[in-house]
A and B are shown apart, each in its own frame.
Chain A
Amino acid sequence: MNLGILTWLILLPVAASFALLFFKRDRTTEIKVFAFIVTLLIFLLSLELFVNFSAAKSGMQFEQIHAWIPQFGINYHVGVDGISLFLVLLTTLLGPICVLCSWKQIEKRIKEFFIALLLLEAGVIGVFVSLDLIMFYIFWEAMLIPMYLLIGIWGGESRIYAAVKFFIYTMVGSLLMFVAILYLYSRTGTFDVQGMQWKLHLPFAVQCWLFLAFGLSFAIKVPLFPFHTWLPWAHTEAPTAGSVILAGVLLKMGVYGFLRFAIPFFPQAAQYFTPAIAVLAIIGIIYGALMSLAQDDLKKLIAYSSVSHLGYVMLGIFAFNVRGMEGGIYQMLNHGVSTGALFLLVGFIYERRHTREISEYGGIAKVIPVYAVIFMIVTLSSIGLPGTNGFIGEFLILLGAFEARNIYGILAASGVVLGAAYMLWLYQRIFFGKITNPKNEHLEDVNKREMAYLLPLLILIFVMGLMPNIFLSRTAKSVNDFLKNQAAYFQGINKP
């Protein structure tokens, strides 16, 4: 039987995590090598999606559908379109990177760690490819568990508090979503996602309630201001790989949820709430940047910068025009690459000095110049310097927002100034000046393993900045269809 590429992408990590059970727990090198090979294989396999994805086609590709629990109309249904394509690829890319960056950092329960990591990867991919609501919900919840364990077991000092906070916060949202999913089933008798997109003509009031139920869950995950306070904790306490996955792909599940479910299911409600969401997004951009300015903890600073960056993404999506949405989707990838890289870099220095206090550093550019250069490149990408990936996303989002409503673009663009301020200030505090702390005098610069996981992201920063059309051309069709369907929906309403 031909399983199809997407199924392989979910199955392989699950199977590999089972296989890891049979490894002896003290054969740590073998465990790591195995995990690395598997994740690398998954990544290489996923490139098939990139190569064979047709930019001209509407709708889902690599689609597969099998009856699963026919009594309730639940199917095994997977597929990707231009919106989810690169999210899947980003997840598979971060897989081997996460294994490599955990090589030395994880010292206890190594076997369990990689099992959790692999299950997490499977769960995230599942979320992005599921086209059946029950399936989606299962993956959505399932992926919480390995993440919870990653933070709770391998995290920092306050890991338990952070893990519980992360878990409860997200659970509150998802329970409401589950109720909404069941309600939808009771009305339609199906869990088919595509069947509901733009086709559910629910009364406006019902739409609003359901949109809020779905939306809260997604907004927490994004996180949209003011639902963000779990993020600094979770990011700060998680091990490097956890932070990378969290920033790289988990946050995007929220945005993806809006794009795939909340908006197409309840278009009128989405339109009704757009100003509120756009305002929250703009507040998030500026507020997140201000929070970053106030931080003394390296990881907290980057965590708050994520709030700011995801604010851009949400603003772009809810601009509901080509440039805003393409920019929003692009910025999701950028954030995965740049912030992922930032967390890797923080992990690098944490491994050496075991502190995240910014004041512990200073002047280290002289000791570890290669690290300083890489950190600079990622910083520039994060603040959206033209030529790097960050610029393309920010520019398209801000332009889209400006086209939607001038004031949105103007307010949000002010975040660009603050972004430069907190990142360059951070950079100065860590790298410039004289070395004040003797512990920093003999740091080891980037080694080959570290270069191996940083280099792909560095290359992506420039490729995505200089040749964005590679990516934009593949998302364009889906975005256009999205907007066309949305317009058609509202036309249908206005014509009785």
Chain B
Amino acid sequence: MELKELVTRFIWLIPAAPLAGFIINGLWGRRFSKNFVTLIGCLGPFIALLVSIAGFRALSMIAPAERADGIVYTLYNWISAGSLHVDIQFIIDPLSSIMLLVVTGVGFLIHLYSIGYMGHDKGYSRYFAFLNLFMFAMLILVLANNLLMMFIGWEGVGLCSYLLIGFWFEDNEKASAGKKAFIVNRIGDFGFILAIFLIFTSCGTLTFSGISEQAKTLAPGVLTAIAILLFVGATGKSAQIPLYVWLPDAMAGPTPVSALIHAATMVTAGVYMVGRMSAIYVNSPEALIIVSIIGGLTALYAATIGLVQNDIKKVLAYSTISQLGYMFLGMGVMAFSAGIFHLVTHAFFKALLFLCAGSVIHAMSGEQDMRKMGGLWRKIPVTFACFVIGAIAIAGVPPFAGFFSKDEILWKTLERYETTHAGLYAVLWVIGLLSALMTAFYMFRLIAMTFFGAPRANEEIMHHVHESPFSMTSVLVTLAILSLIGGFIGVPHLLGGHNWIEGYLEPVWAHPESAGAVTTEAANHSMEIINIIVSVLAGLAGILGALLIYTKFTALPAKLTESNSGKFVHRIVYNKYYIDEIYNALVIQPIKYLSALLWLIFDMAIIDGGLVDLSATLIAVFSQLSRRIQNGIVNNYAMLIFIGAILMLCFFVAQMAA
């Protein structure tokens, strides 16, 4: 009980510690020594990590039935306007406690990694300040106990993403990538904010517990509208179809940033938010179907693009989009725990993969094109080993972390086959399997191209290739261990586990009104076993296929892409289906032209030139004319007075006659 009180009193430290780091390094960082910047920059996340661990401990000591209420602390009342009251209120419940550990844990590791990676950068203190600010925003997002406070973090992480993608702002392309990320996310946020309005007008509250209570009473149409609008927000932040386009460009940022923000934490915020709002989603079957379809399609779509990219970070970026699609597929089939489970394991292995890629790029003097790599494994063995562990994990080979979470999502999808929309879920399951196959393939294609074969870089670069310093490799090893064993928090009962994470998170989720769909596990054992076997086979097939093609039959890919039909398909996929170009032609250019045209023709010519200046001109012309009457000749005046008098006389006479 004592620990709980202590944690309650100090929850605010979790976001405040990195915030303090941001302020100190942001204001005075350029004057500090590098070591001091490092100390300040890493101390905040470390304190946040410690308090988060304490929070997790404290929560575990509470009886499972009461855990959903969480540990709550109100800092102050933020906005009051009429019946709207929004508090800055933190909550540590099972969901946020897991997320906290991931964010602060992986976050802290990536801070450590950055010491080595960014060591020679001129903007070292600015980098750590931004990274700390990101931690602050992300932790606000995670700890929020109401939707509006979550929105602070939601847009806050978007800001940090913008700042860090464009970290090397002297390169205009990188600055543009940051801007693109912010604006595309704003489009998603447009949906998010409308959802907030709709929730407030229909529920009268924005707290998560309040929304959960009210959700059942809402009309189905309203529920679905809310759920879809929120999901629009999620497609922006978590890079799903149709708003994923910013994430590949976001690779312009420093690699640790890609690992932290664009792989492990921020981009999963959409999944987290859908989990938080499970009460809305379970009551809207239509919205769930949309979530699972978009998730499944994104998983497959991004995986196909990943197959043909040559930039090592771009492959990982599309892989991230694809894996996020997986998570949404899980959320869409109401396997909320599985979705979050995959979020956790993905954070481990994708952060690992990105950081390994960073280590490779570091070793290759900044080269990112895999066609210019090859033969690196002997030179950077630690990086290589860690990369292979990460790749096996993401490929879903047991007992690595990715196997359990991915398998759980596939199984829950397949299980839905027995409910309504059988065809849909069968197709989604096949899509999931296909994506798993492709994932394994592009990952080992990457490994083969990067680490195996003859070196394709020039002598000088190869001469410089060296293993990264201990501060970086130690982080790689830590994450590799997590990728290896992280899956054991969710070993399914079938395999003799307890699926701890499912049980731990269970109290958080809402359940659909028609609670008939509770799984009858015993009957499905055979199906579940088949699912495991098929999905493992898919992963292994991808691995073997890629290794064979890219080490033994190296001429095959070229042959394929040079055949007539292959060339066509390759070009489309390689150019990411031309979606960026299509958006540019359909949205961006028309708005640019519209605004320029409106300004020149409507604003300048019609309103200002036509209506305003013309009326002034008319008056001027009129006064020029009337000025002639006042010419100073008294005779004329007398004449006018006379005419006027006669007219008035006529008027009176006419009136009297009438």
Contacts and interface: CB of A to CB of B under 8 A. Distances in A.
A417 B187 contact: yes
A188 B189 CA distance: 51
A432 B166 contact: yes
A323 B77 CA distance: 16
Contacts of B595: 290-291, 293-294
Contacts of B599: 290-291, 294-295
A366 B154 CA distance: 29
B190 A398 contact: no
B596 A294 contact: yes
B155 A385 contact: yes
A327 B81 contact: yes
B191 to A, nearest CB: 9
Contact of B194 (A169, A403, A410): A410
Which has the most chain A C-beta neighbours within 10 Å: B78, B154, B156?
B78
B47 to A, nearest CB: 21
B276 to A, nearest CB: 17
A117 interface: no
Interface of A: 165, 168-169, 226, 229-230, 287, 290-291, 293-295, 321-323, 326-327, 363, 365-366, 380, 385-387, 392, 395-396, 398-399, 402-403, 409-410, 413-414, 416-417, 420-421, 424-425, 428, 431-434, 466-469, 472-473, 476
Contact of A386 (B156, B187, B198): B156
A434 B176 contact: no
A290 B591 contact: yes
Given A323-B81, A385-B159, A432 B169 contact: yes
B186 interface: yes
Given A291-B598, A414-B190, A472 B183 contact: no
Contacts, number: 129
B130 to A, nearest CB: 12
Contacts of A327: 81
A315 to B, nearest CB: 14
Which has the most chain A C-beta neighbours within 10 Å: B169, B171, B616?
B169
Q: Majority SS of interface residues in chain A? A: helix
Given A294-B596, A432-B172, A425 B179 contact: yes
Interface string B584-596: 0000000110111
Interface in B45-88: 76-84
Contacts of B179: 424-425, 428
A433 B82 CA distance: 46
A399 B169 contact: no
B607 interface: yes
A396 B182 CA distance: 22
Contacts of A168: 616
A395 B193 CA distance: 8
Nearest 6 Cβ contacts at the A-B interface: A322-B82, A432-B175, A229-B608, A433-B172, A290-B595, A386-B152
Contact of A399 (B159, B197, B596, B611): B197
A290 B594 contact: yes
A370 B596 CA distance: 32
A414 B187 CA distance: 8
B170 interface: yes
B208 interface: no
A229 B592 CA distance: 21
Contact of A169 (B176, B182, B612): B612
Contacts of B612: 165, 169, 229-230
B162 to A, nearest CB: 8
Which has the most chain B C-beta neighbours within 10 Å: A226, A322, A432?
A432
B197 A428 contact: no
A323 B85 CA distance: 11
A434 B201 contact: no
Given A386-B156, A425-B179, A472-B80, A226 B607 contact: yes
B362 to A, nearest CB: 25
Interface residues of B, number: 52
B591 A417 contact: no
Nearest to B26: A373
B603 interface: yes
21 contacts: A169-B612, A229-B612, A290-B595, A290-B598, A291-B598, A294-B595, A294-B596, A295-B599, A322-B82, A323-B82, A366-B170, A386-B151, A386-B152, A386-B154, A416-B186, A417-B190, A428-B172, A432-B166, A433-B171, A433-B175, A469-B79
Nearest to B154: A386
B200 A399 contact: yes
Interface in B115-149: 148
Contact of B190 (A291, A323, A326, A413): A413
A396 B190 contact: no
B194 A413 contact: yes
A398 B192 CA distance: 13
Interface of B: 76-84, 148, 151-152, 154-156, 159, 162, 166, 169-172, 175-176, 179, 182-183, 186-187, 189-190, 193-194, 196-198, 200-201, 591-592, 594-596, 598-600, 603, 607-608, 611-612, 616
Nearest to B155: A386
Given A294-B595, A366-B170, A402-B201, 14 more contacts: A226-B607, A229-B603, A229-B607, A229-B608, A291-B595, A386-B156, A402-B198, A413-B190, A416-B189, A417-B186, A420-B182, A428-B175, A469-B80, A472-B81
Which has the most chain A C-beta neighbours within 10 Å: B76, B171, B194?
B194
B357 to A, nearest CB: 26
Contacts of A291: 595, 598-599, 603
Contacts of B155: 385-386
A162 to B, nearest CB: 12
Contacts of B172: 428, 432-434
Contacts of B183: 417, 420-421, 424
A469 B194 CA distance: 23
Contacts of B196: 399
A414 B189 CA distance: 10
Contacts of B154: 386
Given A229-B603, A417-B187, A434 B197 contact: no
A48 B211 CA distance: 42
A112 B172 CA distance: 45
A476 B81 contact: yes
Contacts of B198: 402
Nearest to B150: A386
B498 to A, nearest CB: 40
Contacts of B596: 294
B314 to A, nearest CB: 22
Nearest to A165: B612
B592 A293 contact: yes
A409 B78 contact: no
Contacts of B592: 293-294
Given A399-B197, A413-B190, A420-B182, A387 B152 contact: yes
A469 B77 contact: yes
A64 B154 CA distance: 48
Given A399-B84, A409-B194, A472-B79, A433 B598 contact: no
Nearest to B619: A168
B170 A434 contact: yes
Contacts of A395: 79, 148, 193
Contacts of A467: 76, 78
Nearest to A425: B179
A142 to B, nearest CB: 24
Which has the most chain A C-beta neighbours within 10 Å: B200, B599, B611?
B599
A33 B89 CA distance: 47
A409 B80 contact: no
A425 B186 CA distance: 14
Given A293-B591, A386-B152, A468 B194 contact: no
Contacts of A229: 603, 607-608, 612
A159 to B, nearest CB: 17
A3 B591 CA distance: 56
Contacts of A399: 84, 196-197, 200
B170 A363 contact: yes
Nearest to B599: A294
